[in-house]
Amino acid sequence: MAPTVGMYSRNGVRATPAEIHQESTDRYSTSLVLGSAAVIFLIDLILPRGIAIGVLYIIPILISLHPTQPKFTLAVGGICTGLTVIGYVLSPSGATSWLSIGNRGLSIAAIWVTVFLSQQQAEATRRIQALQALLPICASCKKIRDDQGAWSQVEQYLEAHTKTVFTHSLCPHCVRKWYPELHPELSERYPEIFDQV
């Protein structure tokens, strides 16, 4: 089977350029998340326990944000929490235990607040995208409701929200329907238009 225009074969599976780009972006993002988490973990192992290095795990969480993959951010939050606890166990002692545990607790709280807020933001983004796809239109007069609740003609709305400029004319069917007295004159003058109807 010949490949379709705009499609590429990747391991025997057809994919669009956008899908291939998204996959490479996801791979890059995952590598960046894992690399930054590993660097933070290594720094945590070197520094004594009293330093709140675990707060830096917010960086891989922020890198992992993607509105279509909220579970990935949850997984990164779990990994960062685990690395924070392991870092406490393996780091050299340096401060009192209550200070070390308090700093780790604050780090874990910061990680999960960031995850929670990112989930809320991703959900809001999904809702906004869904609402932008909906266009409230009157079933009777065909006016469109804008963001402020005002109703306007389709032409006015589209001219205000797009680069569309309308030029008004009548199709041959409407000329016959609404202006029958003009029809004989127009059909003689423009037979190629009226022969199509």
Give this prediction's pTM.
Answer: 0.57
Query: Which tokens sit at 133?
Result: 């796809």
Within this chain, do residues 37 and 111 fall inside the same structural domain, yes or no?
Answer: yes
> Three-class SS of residue 4?
coil
Domain co-membership, 104 together with 150: no
Residue 127 domain-assigned (yes or no) = yes
Same domain, 30 and 120: yes
Q: What total number of domains does the chain contain?
A: 2
Over the stretch 11-63, which tens digit does the pLDDT of each residue have?
Answer: 666 666 666 656 667 778 888 999 999 999 999 889 888 787 888 999 999 99
Percent of the chain clearing pLDDT 70 (strictly above):
79
Question: How far is C-alpha 98 from the geometric centre of its chain's CA atoms?
Answer: 42
**150 alpha carbon, distance to own chain's centre:** 28
Q: Based on the domain organization, do 14 and 109 belong to the same domain?
A: yes
CA 175 – CA 114 distance, rounded (Å): 63
Answer whether residue 65 is part of any domain: yes
101 shares a domain with 17: yes
| 64 and 25, same domain (yes or no) | yes
- Contact in structure between 37 and 83 (CB atoms under 8 Å): yes
**CA-to-CA dists, residue 89 to 100, 123, 161, angstroms:** 11, 36, 58
- pLDDT computed for residue 192 by the predictor: 72
What pLDDT sits at residue 74? 92
Range of the domain at 70: 8-132
